[in-house]
Amino acid sequence: MGSATSRDRLMELLEPVVEAEGLDLEDVTVTPAGKRRLLRVIVDRDGGVSLDDVAEVSRSVSEALDADDAMGATPYVLEVSSPGVDRPLTEPRHWRRAVKRLVKADLRDGTAVEGRIVVTDETGVELDVDGAPRRIDYQDLTRGRVQVEFRRLDDAENDGEDGDEG
């Protein structure tokens, strides 16, 4: 079941199930795992995904798969999770969910820019690049990647607010 048609069928089957739980279906992959297959379902939403959300959508996805033959007769393991930090930013919602994060943006002209996402809207994103704002329209972006930071902006802003001294 590695074909694009099978993936498309799973996306079509599972998207309304995931949306009914208030989440976005980001991706579906099926990979061989010994005598079984691993069906990985990636979900997300604004504000993030809790363990309770994952458990609830797992139940709903499992029920939908049991009622359909999309996975065929070969055994499979279902894994539902949220996207990791390495997920590419390709959709406006991905950029919106990464506000305040440091990103590297690949542009259609072959260049790249690194900056912190300040704000997003329907047509593009504004980055703080070395203290200067830079507006980039989504049509000019190919993708972005959140950069791993050992000390995020949120952490630096909260320093000293908890009353600990020392």
CA distance 37 to 77: 6
Closest CA to 103 of 89, 121, 119: 89
| DSSP E strands, 1-111 | 24-33, 36-44, 76-81, 102-107
Segment 104-108 mean pLDDT: 96
Based on the domain organization, do 28 and 67 belong to the same domain?
yes
Is residue 45 domain-shared with residue 64, that is, in the same domain?
A: yes
> How far is residue 38's CA from residue 72's CA, in Å, rounded to a whole number?
13
pLDDT at 85: 78
Within-domain flag for 157: no
User: Does residue 55 sit in the same domain as residue 24?
Assistant: yes
Same domain for 50 and 23, yes or no, is yes
Fill in the amino acid letter for 93: R
Domain housing 53: 3-81
Residue 2 has pLDDT above 60, yes or no: no
Asked whether residue 154 is assigned to any structural domain, the reply reads: no
**pLDDT above 70: residue 44:** yes
Which pLDDT belongs to residue 86? Answer: 82
**Is residue 42 pLDDT above 70, yes or no?**
yes
Domain end among 28, 53, 81? 81
Q: What pLDDT sits at residue 140?
A: 96
Decide if 54 contacts 18 (C-beta within 8 A). no
Confidence class for position 74, pLDDT limits 50, 70, 90: confident
Residue 35: give its domain's CATH number: 3.30.300.70
Rg (CA), the chain: 19
- Across the chain, mean pLDDT equals 88
- Final residue before a domain boundary, out of 26, 46, 81: 81
Q: What are phi and psi of 61, to 5 degrees?
A: -65, -45
CATH number, domain with residue 138: 2.30.30.100
pLDDT at 154 over 80: no
Do 71 and 7 lie in a common domain?
A: yes
pLDDT tops 80 at residue 37: yes
The predicted model gives 96-110 an average pLDDT of 94
Residue 108 pLDDT exceeds 50: yes
Domain count, the chain: 2
